[in-house]
């Protein structure tokens, strides 16, 4: 059975998608961008600050669904500029310091709302 997950501590979906969907012990979190859920606005700062907010948004959705960062098995990181990879990786690594998930990272032409980073996540129990 498909279970739709929604957390008030993460940004509301800005289109026809769910924050996350859980099915058969897997949690699929939609790509998160650095929106402050309290204001609905992109946070100020560079790649480090934006990655931090993205990871907090992912954490809020994980928590709402009863998961933790340690349950994450795969991440896909989308960057507006691959020159930001090292700084993004430094923040990302704080959340996955032990047994990190599988991951792919891509540079893309443009991300929603002009952000520098978007991360989608899959977790499993």
pLDDT attached to residue 25: 96
Segment 113-122 mean pLDDT: 97
CATH code: domain of residue 64? 3.30.1330.40
pLDDT attached to residue 14: 82
Tokens of residue 7, six digits? 């957390």
Q: DSSP readout, the chain?
A: --EEE--TTSPPPSSSS-SEEEETTEEEEEEE-SEETTTTEEPSS-HHHHHHHHHHHHHHHHHHHT--GGGEEEEEEEES-GGGHHHHHHHHHHH--SSPPEEEEEE-S--GGG-SEEEEEEEE-
Segment 119-125 mean pLDDT: 97
pTM: 0.96
pLDDT attached to residue 82: 97
What are the pLDDT digits (tens) for 9-67? 999 988 899 999 999 999 999 999 999 999 999 999 999 999 999 999 999 999 999 99
CB 27 within 8 A of CB 122: yes
What are the pLDDT digits (tens) for 66-107? 999 999 999 999 999 999 999 999 999 999 999 999 999 999
Its domain, for residue 64, covers: 3-124
Q: How many domains does the chain have?
A: 1
């Amino acid at each position: 059975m498909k279970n739709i997950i929604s957390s008030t501590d993460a940004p509301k979906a800005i289109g026809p998608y769910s924050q996350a969907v859980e099915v058969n012990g897997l949690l699929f979190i939609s790509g998160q961008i650095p929106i402050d859920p309290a204001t609905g606005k992109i946070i100020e700062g560079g790649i480090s600050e934006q990655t931090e907010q993205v990871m907090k948004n992912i954490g809020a959705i994980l928590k709402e669904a009863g998961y933790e960062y340690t349950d994450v098995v795969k991440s896909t990181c989308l960057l507006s500029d691959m020159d930001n990879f090292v700084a993004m990786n430094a923040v990302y690594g704080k959340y996955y310091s032990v047994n990190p998930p599988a991951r792919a990272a891509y540079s893309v032409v443009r991300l929603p709302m002009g952000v520098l980073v978007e991360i989608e996540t899959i977790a499993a129990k």
